A and B are shown apart, each in its own frame.
Chain A
Amino acid sequence: MELSLLDTTLIALDRLALATIIGASAAFIWLLKDHHARTLVQPRLRFMIDGALITLLITTTVVLLMRSATMADVSLLAAFPFVEKVVEKSHFGSLWAGRAIALVIMITLWLFIRKKTPSLGCMLLIAGCAAIAFYISATSHAGDEGLFTLDNLTNSTHIIGGCLWGGAVIAYLVIISTLRQQGDAMHEIICSSADRLTSLATVALALVISTGLLNAWHRLETITELWQTDYGITLMIKLGFVAMMMAVGASNRFIIIPAMTGKPATSGRFQRVLSLDALLFITIICIAAALGIQGPGEH
Chain B
Amino acid sequence: MNTIKRASLYSSLLLLLTFPLISWGHVHLDKSIPSKGEAVTPAPESLQLWFSGGVETDWSKIEVNSENGTRMDDGEVSHIDDNPKTLKVKLKPLPAGTYKIKWNIVAHDGHRIKGNSHFSVK
Is residue A72 within 8 Å, beta carbon to beta carbon, of the partner chain? yes
How many residues of chain B get a CB closer than 8 Å to chain A's CBs? 39
Q: Quick one: given A89-B58, A90-B59, A91-B54, are A140 and B28 in contact (CB under 8 Å)?
A: no
- Chain A residue with Cβ nearest B11: A246
Contacts of A235 in B (CB 8 A): 20, 23
Asked if residues B110 and A71 are in contact (CB atoms below 8 Å), the reply is yes
The minimal Cβ–Cβ distance linking B2 to chain A, given in whole angstroms, is 12
Is residue B29 within 8 Å, beta carbon to beta carbon, of the partner chain? yes
Contacts of A140 in B (CB 8 A): 24-25, 53, 109
- Chain B residue with Cβ nearest A90: B56
Asked if residues B23 and A222 are in contact (CB atoms below 8 Å), the reply is no
Q: Is the interface of B mostly helix, strand, loop or mixed?
A: mixed
Q: Which of B4, B14, B22, B110 contacts A139 (CB 8 A)?
A: B110
Asked if residues A91 and B28 are in contact (CB atoms below 8 Å), the reply is no
Contacts of A215 in B (CB 8 A): 18, 21-22
Asked if residues B29 and A254 are in contact (CB atoms below 8 Å), the reply is no
Contacts of B108 in A (CB 8 A): 91-92, 139, 143-144
Is residue B102 within 8 Å, beta carbon to beta carbon, of the partner chain? no
Q: Quick one: given A92-B108, A143-B108, A246-B8, are A296 and B26 in contact (CB under 8 Å)?
A: yes
Q: Which of A212, A222, A299 contacts B15 (CB 8 A)?
A: A212
Contacts of A71 in B (CB 8 A): 56, 59, 106, 110, 112
- Chain A residue with Cβ nearest B60: A71
Is residue B80 within 8 Å, beta carbon to beta carbon, of the partner chain? no
The minimal Cβ–Cβ distance linking A12 to chain B, given in whole angstroms, is 13
Q: Could you write out 6 A-B pairs with CB less than 8 Å apart?
A: A208-B18, A215-B18, A222-B21, A250-B7, A255-B4, A295-B28
10 A-B pairs closest in CB distance:
A295-B26, A212-B18, A67-B110, A92-B110, A243-B12, A91-B108, A292-B25, A139-B109, A215-B21, A291-B23
